[in-house]
Amino acid sequence: MEQDPMPKASGDHHRSLFYDARSRQIFFHSINPRHIVLLLCSIFLLCGSYVTSLSHPQAYAESKRTTVKTGCFWHRVTNGDTLNGIAHAYRSSVATLARTNNIRNINLIFTGQNLCIPSKARWAASGVRPNGRVTWYAYGALEWSNRQQARSLLCDAAARYGLPANLMLAIAWQESGWNQHVIARDGGIGLMQIMPYTAQGLNRQVNGHYDPYKLQDNIELGAIYLHSLWHGFHGNKTKIISAYNEGGWNVKHRGIFNWRYVNSVHALMQRY
């Protein structure tokens, strides 16, 4: 009589179970814990990016709602800006700016976003006194700037005053290398090298209170001055450039004598 093959099959089945269990044991022991940690971190980062992308419109919408606030000086965020850098420039704090602008994530601000700088922070270290007098050599009132920020503000000012952008850019580079945090030996202030008495005269002319120690105001004063020279010299760029350096009266009565400055600005205009 033939023997039943079932015992053999049963033995094969037990051996198969043994090898399957052994294989699973070898597999789990072969997994490097570091790989698991890296996998979990990758998943976490992907989830964080997704949540951030969802919060972007809401954060930007919140910043737009701040435009109804009063008592603000508005700072337009440009490439390279950080909330910490902006707070430092305006003698404020990150917490104050975040609270004022409803910013939940202090590491998340966007190019083109308008930030409310409370007036108290804006004028805490002002170079302009209440009577309009501009202080000489007020190093504590100087703001910092970066070149991307300066270029953007210069182009905006040129467009608003109907000036060639390359003229604004070239004169600003010739004067300061687009650096706001500088005072010349003769008292010239900031990026456009505005003299204190020139700032006072321009403020009276436009009934303003612009502070040449502040980047945006400094550029505004420079644009006002160039706009005045543009009309005074009927768009003659050579005379305008010379007058910016020598003064309009000197150019009208003595002619152009600082040709090195004029030629340098013309060359810079070709570059920009």
pTM beyond 0.75, yes or no:
no
List the chain pLDDT tens, one digit each, 272 residues. Answer: 444 444 444 555 445 544 455 555 544 455 566 666 666 766 665 565 444 444 444 433 333 443 344 567 777 887 878 888 787 766 678 888 999 999 999 999 998 898 888 755 444 468 888 788 999 999 889 988 889 999 999 999 999 999 999 999 999 999 999 999 999 999 999 999 999 999 999 999 999 999 999 999 999 999 999 999 999 999 999 999 999 999 999 999 999 999 999 999 999 999 99
Do the Cβ atoms of 77 and 112 come closer than 8 Å?
yes
Do the Cβ atoms of 223 and 163 come closer than 8 Å?
yes
Q: Is 46 exposed, middle or buried (0-12, 13-18, 19+ CB in 10 A)?
A: exposed
Q: Could you give the CA distance from residue 88 to residue 92 in angstroms, rounded to a whole number?
A: 6
First-to-last alpha carbon distance for the chain, in angstroms, is: 105
Q: Could you give the CA distance from residue 163 to residue 86 in angstroms, rounded to a whole number?
A: 28
Looking at the annotation, which residues are catalytic? Answer: 175
Cite the beta strand spans of the chain per DSSP E: 72-76, 114-118
